[in-house]
Structure 1
């Protein structure tokens, strides 16, 4: 029977379609009867206190923006980072004067052909030297989560860049999304229309590039006088001579939006750049002095502290649901009847998660079947249904994080390691674009351990996010390495919709609460 059961597990977890029927057929053809059963589960909300660790070690990507909807409420996200000189104890030359300062951000954008627009100016005059040229600007819409339009018009966002006046510490420090950071001078702002562009300028005379092509990005002009006084005028001063001195002198910048509603956009934090454009006097060997264009860069890369600062304003219904939720700090305490929820709120970026408990009566019944009838579990999954109240066009999460609630233990579910080579998928979704969306969590190995090997049963804690993989090997990096800190998606699911069915077998066709779906065999 063992090869047969393993074949059933592999097929059930790697194929699409009517998996349960397929599994029953496989085991039924070899002297065993297959059974499909569904049992109600205890489901409750987990209050993460709207806080998550959000320092650079957790941020492959960051969100910036603001978004509000009636179920989860308002969310505002700012990005805070240190910055460093690319070269310390710099020599800016004689009579150095700043022309401009540009902060360059590289948001994620849509590149489909029908999303791109191109404008060409054949009669462009490049201002530095009045050079006849051609200017080509290619424009792409930024990928957005939230409201691309408000009142029929493009949702406006005003991006603000400010000086940070608090010392942010070192890159190894743990920082949380609710950390308060003092801000000072407004360095620049820009009305953002939701697009980014690339720019190519070529000379008319020989079609050569007049300047290096500007890659697709969002560019914000900053206060040149501030940087003249803060950087250029400090040439030779101790504050520019080493990194330790500099990050305590110029402590960082924050990037935020002025509005409270609109959308969130994402970018890779280490791709941001800040360039100071200036001119100085260059003396030739014959004594001629020429004003010459120069640049100096400030690094915003991985050597700096990064922080995603997230704030929420919650509506009454959500707050009420969290009042009866299990606090994440008490997650290992027994679940009480007050924690059962008929609506489950799932949100990334520090928002709420959910907990799932298999009733002890269900486990006892299955263990009795295993002992007396020699059943063998072929497939087990937790099914969760979208709640009818979450009926909108916002993109639902397509992946979830699942962890057993075991004190001081952080690991993958046994399924993610035992079945890794069998095409196993932790989460399978259906109908995500509709109100009838479902999520299936593959827990075959977990349930087999509990029922057939008498392992302890632990609650499963589920959050929005996806696991990160090694860029070189493709292997999962670990339970703690995931996108939760910057994953903006949210969904409301059905929990315990009928407490009278506590731990009982239910009809999968009619019961839409959280449930455990089983396929098991029993020898004829």
Structure 2
């Protein structure tokens, strides 16, 4: 019988995946009895248990981009994201020419953006990963908190972890004066103009992609860097880490609205440049000695330890809904929340294992609860994973639509793009776990808990440590990690849960199968 199942599965499973979308209306489940559709594929719907877990503290000093700003989500409320980063000298033991004058200190943090051209053929940019269009207060201050690379409590054998809820700790070590303050910073899609000279010494204007590009306090860097020439503090990377321990980029709300942007602090163009000028004797075309002004720079990069911190509490109503049941499933990015899904009870699983059926498809359909979304943008994708073992599902790995160059349209069989019904306006997401269910039935695999989250990149499957979450999960499957791609977006959504009063939109496990005894 197993051989028969295998042959039939191979010949039908790929076809069925594409047919099922058009066959959904041909199934019904009344009183537990299945009404077959003409193709012989049947449907069973299983009640599941799904609930929300609030991630109170997550690791954020991983090599991911960082959020910076203030975002007022229509559902989840206002949250602020700040960044604490180590600094690294581009050149240790820097030497400055005699009489060098520090002209300017420029911070450059490019936005994620897409380039296009306008009607005149000139380049224009559209910002990506910017949420909201208001302003926030941005300040930059020196930090005297030492960010360890290795954890001293683990005998320096494990990388040090820093967490999203440690801002109050870090702020105790900030210097009093800021080296930059903008009382109303608003991200801009304007390209950056640079006026310089070409090879012939003529004035030349060049442009670069939009960036958070600002001038920092010149006197501060004169004392901190230039005046320290020849010192032990600038002589090595480790000495510099201890001397100049980092910068805190702090975002604070100034109004109900704000904006939050994603930045790659370790990108090639990210960092601080100290520009200085000096006079040097040269020989002109007539062979005479003249003094000429030269301009040079010293780069300071952001270090390996860069921590995202988050502030803000969910509205009281949201907290109560998260803690008191499964009427709705709240999935939020950033420090955020995730959903926990428990598929089968023992009786249902034993019943499935006892029958001679071929599983054609198994999926979860998550419907947006638009009544609770308050006009918020829906996330682009959802991600389903093995929460018990902190691993990807086999269906993720087997998805043939994998496309590294197009993450938005990749793995769309495993995790569909949001589908909106033109007539009803309802939006749903389909997460397929066909092979996972087949393994549960045919191979007696363990029925593990699953996790579901919003994701900013379905191709990214790395995880980050979770230090605290609530409510605590019963049994041994504590929430130890969360998907990293969920932590770098502030977007979220509300879905009908497994105990929703809306029977038609309630979250269930849908299993399409063929009875091989027929």
- Using the size of structure 2 for normalisation, the TM-score is 0.77
Partners of 2:311 and 2:499 in 1: CA distance? 31
Q: 1:389 to 1:273 in 2, by over 3 A?
A: same
Partners of 1:467 and 1:413 in 2: CA distance? 16
2:379 is the counterpart of 1:397: yes
Superposed displacement of residue 72, structure 1: 1.0
Superposed displacement of residue 399, structure 1: 2.2
Equivalent of residue 136 in structure 2, options 149, 157, 162: 157
SS of corresponding position for 2:43: strand
Partners of 1:160 and 1:255 within 8 A in 2: yes
SS of corresponding position for 1:390: helix
Partners of 1:424 and 1:213 in 2: CA distance? 37
Count of residues in correspondence between the two structures: 456
Q: State the match for 1:428 in structure 2.
A: 416
Q: State the match for 1:10 in structure 2.
A: 14
Q: State the match for 1:55 in structure 2.
A: 61
Structure 1 residues 344-386: Cα deviation after superposition (integer angstroms, max 9, x where no partner): 11011221111122341xx524543552x52221111112211
1:232-251 equivalent positions in 2, closer than 5 A? 232-251=226-245
Q: State the match for 1:269 in structure 2.
A: 265
Q: State the match for 1:329 in structure 2.
A: none
Superposed displacement of residue 387, structure 1: 1.3
SS of corresponding position for 2:239: helix
2:447 is the counterpart of 1:460: no
1:88-167 equivalent positions in 2, closer than 5 A? 88-113=92-117, 140-143=125-128, 145-148=130-133, 155-167=134-146
Partners of 2:341 and 2:450 within 8 A in 1: yes
Partners of 1:277 and 1:239 in 2: CA distance? 20
Superposed displacement of residue 289, structure 1: 5.0
Deviates more, 1:484-493 or 1:165-174: 165-174
Partners of 2:128 and 2:397 in 1: CA distance? 34
Partners of 1:71 and 1:317 within 8 A in 2: no
SS of corresponding position for 1:447: helix
Equivalent of residue 485 in structure 1, options 481, 484, 487: 487
Partners of 1:201 and 1:211 within 8 A in 2: yes
Superposed displacement of residue 342, structure 1: 0.1
Partners of 2:387 and 2:82 in 1: CA distance? 31
Partners of 1:316 and 1:383 in 2: CA distance? 28
Q: 1:318 to 1:56 in 2, by over 3 A?
A: same
Equivalent of residue 79 in structure 2, options 56, 62, 75: 75
SS of corresponding position for 2:372: coil
Deviates more, 1:251-260 or 1:229-238: 251-260
Partners of 1:116 and 1:449 in 2: CA distance? 58
2:296 is the counterpart of 1:317: no
Q: State the match for 1:128 in structure 2.
A: none
Partners of 2:23 and 2:194 in 1: CA distance? 53
- Structure 2, unaligned runs of 5 or more: 29-35, 151-158, 403-410, 464-480
- Structure 1, unaligned runs of 5 or more: 119-137, 149-154, 325-339, 471-475, 500-508
Partners of 2:369 and 2:495 within 8 A in 1: yes
Superposed displacement of residue 490, structure 1: 0.3
Superposed displacement of residue 426, structure 1: 2.3
1:405-444 equivalent positions in 2, closer than 5 A? 405-406=387-388, 409-417=389-397, 425-431=413-419, 436-444=426-434
SS of corresponding position for 1:33: coil
RMSD: 3.6
Partners of 1:416 and 1:424 within 8 A in 2: no
Superposed displacement of residue 453, structure 1: 3.3
Partners of 1:95 and 1:280 within 8 A in 2: yes
